[in-house]
Amino acid sequence: MALKIINQDVYKLDKFDGSNFTRLKDKMCFMLTVLNVIFVLDSKLEPIREPSDKDMDKIVAHRRKHEEDELVCRGHILGTLSDRLYDMYTHIQSPKEIWETLEHKYTTEKRGTNKFLMFKYYEFTMFDNKPILDQVHELLVLVSKFRELKIVIPDPMIVEAIMAKLPQAWNNYRKKLLHMVEDISLEDF
């Protein structure tokens, strides 16, 4: 049996500890696609039919390949899990079942945390004692999380939010920007 194992130096996934399932999902799907085993996770995958005398060898070979692909897929999914999560899911033999369980748990959990994302955005405050660029970066990370939810905030609104959240020491700069005739782009800001 010749198993497909991806070169770990070329593409190594970080250990998944339960945070940022979206990132794991994207990377895992890419890796399993490269290995040509992503089909194992397809919910529409039909079971292999029982062989007849006519096509016995073909069906047996197909079944053997499918079992090898499931083993590779299961190994790579389990291999990316932290030790704690590995211990929780190692008893499940089906890679599809492991994946669906992870997807259900961490997608549901993510929906709960997304409720507070908008609140964090509105309540975000900048302070004089922290570098402004670091604080702008924090705000832009929040905005990028909105994009994951398919909520797009236009750049002019992001610039205006940054201006509104500038600390008191930046009032003169804020007034100068507000009185400009043309809109300033996010990159220029």
Bridge-partner residues for 81, per DSSP?
Answer: 16
Count CB neighbours of 173 within 10 A. Answer: 12
Report CA-CA distances (Å) from 131 to 104, 115, 134, 167, 171.
39, 28, 5, 11, 16
pLDDT, position 160: 87
Q: What span, in angstroms and rounded, lies between the C-alpha atoms of 151 and 149?
A: 5
Q: What percentage of the chain exceeds 90 in pLDDT?
A: 22
Query: How much is the pLDDT for 57?
Result: 77
**pLDDT on residue 110:** 59
Query: Is pLDDT above 60 for 4?
Result: no
> In the predicted model, what is the mean pLDDT of the chain?
82
Q: What is the DSSP letter of 16?
A: B
Phi then psi dihedrals of residue 81, to 5 deg? -85, 145
**62-85 pLDDT tens trace:** 888 888 999 999 999 999 999 999
pLDDT at 8 over 60: no
Give the per-residue pLDDT at 9.
47
**What predicted TM-score, i.e. pTM, was given to this entire model?**
0.56
> What SS3 class is residue 81?
strand
Chain segment 112-151, per-residue pLDDT in tens: 566 677 778 888 888 888 888 898 898 888 888 888 777 8
